[in-house]
Amino acid sequence: MINALGVALVVSAVLTMLERRWLSKAPGATRWLFGLLLLLSISLYVYQAPNTHVWRPGELLHVFAPPSGPP
C-alpha cells in the first residue's frame, strides 16, 4: 500500500511539474479537471495495486461469457 502510494505520488508530481507551463496558462476548469483526474488515478492505483482481491468491473463481463467459454 505504502509502495503504491509512493509510486502514484511521484508519478503525479512529475506529471504536474511537466505540465506546469500549460497549466499555469490554462483556464480554471482545465486545472480542476487535471487535478481531479490525477486524484482519481492515485486513489484507483493505490486501491488495486497491492494485488489483493478487489472488485473489478471485468467481473460483470462473465455474464456475457458464451456457454462454450472463450478461446
Contacting residues toward another protein, per CB under 8 A: 7, 11-12, 15, 18-19, 22-23, 26-30, 33-34, 37-38, 40-41, 44-45, 47-49, 54, 56-59, 61-62, 64-66, 68, 70-71
| Contact between residue 38 and residue 15 where contact means Cβ atoms under 8 Å apart | yes
* Closest to another protein by CB, 2 or 65: 65
Which residue in this structure is represented by grid cell 481531479? 36
CA distances from 25 to 19, 20, 21, 43, 44 (A): 10, 9, 7, 27, 28
Tell me the closest approach of the beta carbon of residue 30 to another protein, in angstroms. Answer: 4
Query: Strand, helix or coil at 67?
Result: coil
Tell me the closest approach of the beta carbon of residue 12 to another protein, in angstroms. Answer: 8
